[in-house]
Amino acid sequence: MSVVSSTNLGLQPPPIIDNSIVGGFNASEIIQAEMQAYEQPITDLQNQQSTIQSEVSDYQQLVSDLQSLQSAAEALSMSPTVSTTSAWAARSATSSDSSVATATAAPGTPTGSVQFVVQQLAAAESLVSSGTVASTSDVVTSAPDFLLSQGGAELGFSSLASSGLTLGQHTVSVTQASEAALATGTSDLASQSSVSVTSSNDTLDVTVNGTAYSLTLASGTYTGSQLLSALDAAISSAGAGGVIEAGYNGSGQLVLATVDQGSTQSLQVTGGTALSTLGLSAMSSAASGTAAVVQVDGTSTTLSTVTPGATVSLAAPTGSVSATVVSAPSSIGGSLISVGSLTATDVSTGNGSLADLVSSINDAGTGITASAVDTGSGYVLQLSSSATGVANDLSVDTQAFASSSLGTLQVASAGQDAEIQVGGAGGYTLSSSTDTFSNLLPGLSVTAQSVSSTPVTVTVSPDASTVAGDVQTLVNDLNTTFSDLQKYAGYNEQTKTGGPLMGSAVLQNLLNELQSTIAQVVGTSTLGDAKNVGITLSSSSSGTSVSFDKSAFEAAYQANPAQVEAMFTQGGTFSPSASSYSGQVSLLTAEDNTQPGSYGVTITNSATQATDLGAVLSSGTVSAAETLTITMGSSSVQVTTSAGESLSAIAQAINQALAQANMPMSASVVDSGQQLELASSAYGSSASFSVTSTNTGSGTTGLAGTFTGSDVQGTIDGVTAQGSGQVLSLPDNANSPAAGLALTVSVPGITSSTNLGTFTYSPGIAQSLVTLASSMTNAVNGQITETINNLNQQSSGLTSQIDFYQNIAAEEQKLLTQQFSQLQVTLEKLQNQSTSLSSALAGLP
């Protein structure tokens, strides 16, 4: 019989020895006995592989523990100035009187307090009919439909009515606002306490829509408000009342405006002795108003003349809308009709009865509720807005049912915005369409509960309870990790047995690092180690554990939130090479792989803003007019200067325009008041703007061109870093332990290689745990990850060996089966021969 052998692992299977051929043997038992020698190596290898796979499973459980720990630590590892998801950004808001106002604070809300008085709460408008009907079945209208809308006053329409519109929703949009013809002064008259008017400075000549008016001010000494009253009296005396009006804009400058608005309106200041006193100048040509353009379902109507309180017809694809213009603009020079849109719904009045009308309005779902109210002497129609605030006032035809006994619709309760007075008499008033105010502090939401003349104070502070909950989660994950380390790699004193991974250098290093992070002073906090904030490390024969005193933590955090935060978060200190660099290099952020240590910082160029420095004007004023167009990205503003205007006044006008356009840049006067300078707020190559001028000649500002900032350039730890604005950073894959470190460098004026000093990166408890967990579990080079990969490779190698021996065993079993099968055939033949011989012998005499 042949013998099959293998040289793999130095194992040699034993030879097969033929059994004696005797009757009654069991071939299967013999083959099974012979195969045991071949199957034993397979069993040994499978047991070895099972042990490895069990170890992999144990390591994977520790990876899961560390990933949970890393997630909990990341929430505590960064300052809220870097990450809005930081646990340290949690804020609590408390009110000194919750019956007057309550408050909530979003993460990152600036800490501090604000005091205010609740002057009024928001209310929804309600209209009620002036008359009654005896029954809800009484007919109250013969019109087939009724137009429902809200917020028309925001567009400039006090009411909207249907004229042949189709039933259903319709969009009313103002695409171009109406404007009056205006003349605006340059002086802040509103804040003046003493303006003298005599016979030498008392006249003002204006021409409105081609008609000349001469205004004469009464002599006297006026405050700003008194001067405006005197001007109103002069307008009335000149017969210009109802034609022009006067007022102050937000800067306190005098504004003359036509009462009507639209492109048909014109106004020109032509002269007078009061021009200088009023801050006006004669106009070379008349200023014109602007027509309003209103669309109904896409069909436009141009209103070239807009008169306060007038009714205008707005065309629609089918039918039209009859709109009543509001009685006055919101401010002097403001638009009667303003850009915006609303949705109006035309509903059927059914059979014209009160019941059908109420049902149709309520079924339309427009936010307007209709009710037939039984007063005891008849039914009135009541319409109510479901939303509070002036912007949600009803814009319906109040005369729609005047032909019936219902009469006109009158205001039962006026819609109003909630109002609070912030900071006392010298403060300011805020309004909201609801009782909630979201603009007191960024992230602070205050809800007024009742009107009160007594000030209420809302205080925003760090939320110790929420942060303590996040620290508790971190401690829980630490204890889970310590418990599993003891289970898998520790020694059980009671059973005198070690865990399956005991002796692993990787896990011993992990245990040591975890213990060290909790036990030692880390970060830049002055509070010392974790015990001072309620975190205590203890070790015993049963392993390591961490306890957390939540009350002690909250007390420490409330007493000194900045230092408690510094104990956990990324941090660092800068040691400048010269005192002039002190405080000008700071940590922005670091990555998980950034190692603690001290790193030299050298820069070759400071970051700069985009800056435009104008012409030197020794007088501090311009002698020629120009119009400046300042563009940044997709935003631009225009500012017109006039001859004799000071650079400081021009800078003020530019800054006002930039603020209104939310453009992050500013103007200032430099060089002892002789130059204008425009500068972007941001630093770096991404900060850019351009300026064009209609006049670049002598005596102008000299502001023109395209301007771009530059990024900081330099090295960290001797490795070339990347610059973005004032941020100098090393990429994650940099060949340095400082890889991933990003610093803010605000040192100005450097243009050659300069050693600024040394920055020492000192991660706190949470960031140290993040770095440790990442070094153990990251997919590229994590220590535990590499251990698992090595074990899996060993397991794969054993699989190949198992397959090899299984093939040998299968072949041997096949051979034995064939041999015993042949043997069985031979035995059967012999048996048959034996039977034949026996029969033959039995037949012999």
Contact present, 381 and 128 (Cβ < 8 Å): yes
Token pair of 338 as six digits? 């303003």
The 3-state secondary structure of 422-451, one letter per residue: ECCCCCEEEEECCCEECCCCCCEEEEECCC
Q: Are residues 457 and 474 in the same domain?
A: no
What pTM was computed for the model? 0.71
Confidence of residue 543 (pLDDT cuts 50, 70, 90): confident
Say how far apart CA 620 and CA 624 lie, in whole Å.
13
Last residue of some domain: 761, 796, 831? 761
Say if CB 585 and CB 731 are below 8 A apart. no
735 and 804 co-located in one domain: no
Looking at 18-22, 332-336, 764-768, which range is the least confident one? 18-22
Q: Is the pLDDT of residue 10 over 60?
A: no
Judge whether 765 and 517 are in contact, CB under 8 Å: yes
Q: Is residue 165 part of a domain?
A: yes
| One domain, residues 311 and 406 | yes
Tens-place pLDDT, residues 818-831: 877 787 778 778 87
Choice among 32-46, 128-142, 252-266, 495-509 with the minimum mean pLDDT: 32-46
DSSP-derived 3-state class of residue 170: strand
- CA nearest neighbour of 653 among 626, 633, 672, 680: 626
Answer yes or no: is 295 within a domain: no
Would you say residue 5 has pLDDT above 50? Answer: no
Q: Which two tokens mark 69?
A: 């720990």
Q: What are the two backbone dihedrals, phi and then psi, of residue 736, each rounded to the nearest 5 degrees?
A: -165, 145
Tell me the helix, strand and coil percentages in the chain, rounded to 5: 30, 35, 40
pLDDT at residue number 25: 62
pLDDT, tens only, 410-454: 999 999 999 999 987 778 899 999 999 997 888 999 999 999 999
- Are 439 and 495 contained in the same domain? no
The more confident residue out of 704 and 841 is 704
End of a domain among 230, 256, 289? 289
pLDDT, tens only, 327-361? 999 889 899 999 999 999 999 999 999 999 999 99
- Output the pLDDT for position 740: 95
Q: Counting every residue, how long is the chain?
A: 845
Burial code (b: 16+ CB inside 10 Å, e: under 16) for 431-453 equals ebbbbbbeebbebbbbbbbeebe
427 backbone φψ class: left, alpha, beta (φ>0; ψ -120 to 50): beta
Q: Is the pLDDT of residue 243 over 70?
A: yes
Widest Cα–Cα separation across the chain: 178
- For 190, 334, 343, 687, the CA distances from 253, given in Å and listed in that order, are 7, 14, 37, 34
Whether 285 maps to a domain, the answer reads: yes
Percent residues over pLDDT 70 in the chain: 97
Residue 112 lies in a domain: yes
Is the pLDDT confidence value at 8 over 70?
Answer: no
Nearest to 106 by CA among 557, 449, 568, 460: 460
Please tell me which residue, 817 or 272, carries the higher pLDDT value: 272
Task: Tell whether 256 and 305 lie within a shared domain.
Answer: no
Residues 441, 394 within the same domain = no
Overall average pLDDT of the 246-264 stretch: 93
Res 1: pLDDT: 34
Question: Which of the residue ranges 67-71, 245-249, 250-254, 598-602 would you say has the lowest mean pLDDT?
Answer: 250-254
632, part of any domain: yes
- Between CA 172 and CA 340 the distance in angstroms is 8
**What's residue 11's pLDDT?**
43
Sheet of 368-374, strand order: 368-374, 379-385, 126-129, 409-413
What stretch of H or E contains 760?
A: strand 754-761
Judge whether residue 21 has pLDDT over 50. no
Q: What is the pLDDT of residue 24?
A: 55
> Phi and psi (nearest 5°) for 716?
-125, 125
Contact assessment for residue 340 and residue 174, using Cβ atoms and an 8 Å cutoff = yes
From 271, 306, 270, 312, select the one nearest 289 (Cα to Cα): 306
Show the domain range for 591.
Answer: 572-607+713-761
Domain count, the chain: 6
296 belongs to a structural domain: no
Check whether residue 820 and residue 722 sit in a common domain: no
Query: Is residue 294 in a domain?
Result: no
Q: Three-state DSSP class for 375?
A: coil
Which of these three, 289, 320, 345, is where a domain ends? 289
- Per residue in 448-464, pLDDT (tens digit) is 999 999 999 999 999 99
Per-residue pLDDT tens over the stretch 767-790: 999 999 999 999 888 999 999 999
Give me the pLDDT at residue 13, please.
45
- State whether 588 and 717 are in the same domain: yes
Do 366 and 424 belong to one domain?
no
Instruction: Output 522 or 724, whichever has higher pLDDT.
Output: 724
Position with higher pLDDT, 821 vs 475 = 475
What average pLDDT does the chain have? 91
**The pLDDT value given to residue 558:** 93
Contacts of 519-522 with CB under 8 Å at 24 or more apart are 522/567, 522/762, 522/763, 522/764, 522/765, 522/768
587 in the same domain as 717: yes
Per-residue pLDDT reduced to its tens digit, 641-686: 888 888 998 999 999 899 989 999 999 999 999 999 999 999 999 9
Q: Is residue 844 part of a domain?
A: no
Class of residue 613 by CB neighbours under 10 A (exposed 0-12, middle 13-18, buried 19+):
middle
Model confidence over 104-117: pLDDT tens digits? 999 989 999 999 99
The reply to whether 267 and 358 lie within a common domain is no
Rounded mean pLDDT, 371-396 = 95
**pLDDT value of position 598:** 96
Strands, E assignment, 249-309? 254-258, 266-271, 287-288, 292-296, 299-303
Instruction: Give the per-residue pLDDT at 9.
Output: 40
For residue 660, give the CATH number of its domain: 3.30.70
Q: Which residue has the tokens 């035995």?
A: 827
Residue 813: what pLDDT?
A: 80
Q: How far apart are CA 458 and CA 230, in angstroms?
A: 44
Q: Are residues 390 and 515 located together in one domain of the fold?
A: no
What percent of the chain is modeled with pLDDT above 90?
75
